[in-house]
Amino acid sequence: MTRNQRDAAPNGGAGKAPVEATESETLAANGVADFLRSHPDFLARHPELLDVLTPPARDRGDGVLDLQQFMVERLRDELSEMAAARDALVATGRGNLSAQARVHKAILALLAARSFEHYIETLTTDVAVTLDLDIITIGVEQTNDNGSRTHTAGVCRLEPNMVDCLLGPRQVIALHADIAGDEAVFGAAAGLVRSEALIRLSISEATPVALLALGSRNAEHFQEGQGTELLSFLARVVESGIRGWLNLPT
């Protein structure tokens, strides 16, 4: 007996296929497919979507592995790493520009000082605020001929050879993170200091060795490996300003 055409099993008699998606999901997928067919350049205009799409695996059927999907995933990983490196570089650049602007503002404030006392006061107060620091001091090593000089606010008296002990012989600058501030350097504010930048000041042949000390309560504000060009430039400006106000030779 011949089977009626309308009684034939769907899908060539293989039985009903398993449902893989709801009707609404199927309609949505069909809508996306129709949209892409109508706009074949959509992905070309939105290439960022390729980073979130999963390419189909290609089955060659002959036991040979197709590396296309592996290569695409590797390229995506490399693009992600490059994007992260780019973002880090941009953030570093912006941070450097901000630091540069702060140092320039600090130097302009120093240039506006009206006297030597005002110069030291500006350095230890206004400049500290401008650079987002908690304390700035100047330390001067004591010698037999300067021990009785009048004390200037913001200037600490250091023991002989203390700068070499703090920095190391011939070392110009040192950055220290996660430390306890030295009272001999930062005075009563030492308890606030958790990181520091110490810079040797060579003011004049007629003066003892001095130290520019910058302290922060942020334990990682200063740390080894940071660039020191701006700090060194600030120190050279401070040296020049002190020489000028005290009329000292170079």
The pLDDT confidence band at residue 15, using thresholds 50, 70 and 90, is very low
Sequence spans of domains, the chain: 114-246
- Helix (H) or strand (E) holding 198, with range, is strand 195-201
Query: Given this model, what pLDDT does residue 148 score?
Result: 46
- Find tokens 């959509």 and name the residue: 42
pTM attached to this predicted model: 0.65
Query: Given this model, what pLDDT does residue 48 score?
Result: 77
Query: Given this model, what pLDDT does residue 10 score?
Result: 41
Residue range 135-173, pLDDT digits in tens: 999 999 988 655 444 456 778 899 999 999 999 988 999
Query: Given this model, what pLDDT does residue 33 score?
Result: 86
Query: Given this model, what pLDDT does residue 113 score?
Result: 95
Taking the CB of residue 139, how many other CB atoms lie within 10 A of it? 25
The CA-atom distances, in angstroms, between 114 and each of 26, 110, 121, 231, 236 are: 79, 9, 11, 24, 19
Q: ∠ at Cα 190 (149, 120), nearest 5°? A: 40
Indicate whether 60 pLDDT > 70.
no
| CATH no. for 114-246 | 3.30.450.40
Angle between helices 68-111 and 229-246 (to 10 degrees): 10
Residue range 70-116, pLDDT digits in tens: 677 778 888 888 888 888 888 777 877 888 999 999 999 999 999 99
Query: Given this model, what pLDDT does residue 74 score?
Result: 78
Residue range 198-249, pLDDT digits in tens: 999 999 988 999 999 999 999 999 999 888 999 999 999 999 999 999 999 8
Query: Given this model, what pLDDT does residue 14 score?
Result: 43
Q: How far apart are CA 227 and CA 122, in angstroms?
A: 24
Q: Are 193 and 186 in contact (CB under 8 A)?
A: yes
Question: Shortest CA distance to 205 belongs to which of 249, 150, 165?
Answer: 249
Query: Given this model, what pLDDT does residue 11 score?
Result: 46
Q: How far apart are CA 160 and CA 163, in angstroms?
A: 8
Query: Given this model, what pLDDT does residue 17 score?
Result: 46
